Amino acid sequence: MLMVSFMKKVVIGMSGGVDSSVAAILLKNQGYEVIGLFMRNWDASLNNDFLGNPTLNQNICPQEQDYNDALKVCKQIGIPLHRIDFVKEYWDYVFTYFLEELKLGRTPNPDIMCNKYIKFDMFVKEAKKLEADYIATGHYARIENGKLLKAVDHNKDQTYFLSQLSKKQLSHVLFPIGNLDKPEVRKLASEYNLVTAKKKDSTGICFIGERNFTKFLENYLPNIPGKIINIETNEVIGNHIGLMYYTIGQRKGLNLGGNDERTFVVGKNLNRNILYVAHGDDNEYLYSDSAIIDTINWIGDTKPNKCCAKFRYRQQDNPVNMEYIDDNHILVTYSQGIKAVTPGQACVFYKDDECLGGGLIKEVRKNGEKLWYL
């Protein structure tokens, strides 16, 4: 095990989950001076959504439970825990973006913006106040020779969510569990008898957690019901509850009765407030062959003409060709066709295990024509 020859100070983001708990232990075992920092980014009571979530323990909100778990872990392994409030910053830089994208009918990824503006920006500034040499998180990723690499556990790899970070942001970052798979992390947590050892992984919107998505969004955006149309027959087959609640490729939750089986969302028309669907998971309407990518961010040193790309988390790497339209727009083509490429989601570029960077899907095309996704 690598030992630090002279003690460097690391401030680690403690989420109250098993991954950051084990990451903190590993850093301490390697000889670092470790300081925990818990970020509070959402105020459920202030935003009037606490009681609307049937999954919540009404005696304590999830973030307070997470903080309590983080505090127990830090006390057990003998490191201090600081707490910082980023509620306003999260609202301004992440949640506002999330709502604006939904209004446009797109499918945003708030986790990516949370990493860019909160975890690796606001958090870093706070860590510097604590005179940190490095910051660390429990992400499944690796950094080697200045390159952002996929985690050893490809099933848990989170470089997709780090694709909007800059090389500078990553220059003093440690990912202690990037060389471990999830079962190994759980095993270490059990060996140290941590309260988080068997804790369920967090899901839902970044830092907001699990919610009844429909009821939650009703607090912020009005529902505008409309028609569901089978794009192949132009037949009205049902009603939707608001275009913002659906994403391309979605099958569940359409409430079409007997017509619901193997029916997928294939498009949206914002002007007419129509949700388009088609039958069959290999339906031609689900596939595209190119996309316009904007909000481009490069982590790697080169801009390739060919590489691989993921158009959603945990998707396989897809070979693509790149045509650079201007400094912030790339036409990405994939002759093999890819299912359910969705505006608003991230397109992340890879060369083998290296994450080169990425952008956001602005427009989806097929045979040179823009699809009716928006």
- Count of beta carbons in the 10 Å neighbourhood of residue 63: 20
Radius of gyration of the chain (CA): 22
CA 317 to chain centre: 17
Bridge partners (DSSP) listed for residue 339:
287
Q: Which of 61, 74, 206, 355 is catalytic?
A: 206
Closest C-alpha to 89, from 46, 134, 119: 119
Q: What residue type is 238 in one-letter code?
A: G
List the alpha helices (DSSP H) in 78-122: 87-90, 96-103, 110-114
- DSSP category for residue 200: P
Is there a catalytic annotation at residue 114?
yes
Is there a catalytic annotation at residue 206?
yes
Q: Which of 61, 74, 114, 307 is catalytic?
A: 114
- Count of beta carbons in the 10 Å neighbourhood of residue 331: 16
User: Which residue shows structure tokens 């569990």?
Assistant: 177
Angstrom distance (rounded) from CA 42 to CA 27: 28
Angstrom distance (rounded) from CA 35 to CA 52: 35
- DSSP category for residue 205: B
Residue 52 Cα distances to 56, 58, 211, 219, 307, angstroms: 9, 10, 8, 10, 44
Closest C-alpha to 276, from 306, 307, 308, 250: 250
Tokens of 202: 């967090």
Bridge partners (DSSP) listed for residue 277:
230, 265
Closest C-alpha to 132, from 1, 256, 10: 10
The answer for 145, left when phi > 0, alpha when psi is -120 to 50, beta otherwise, is left
Q: Catalytic amino acids?
A: 114, 206
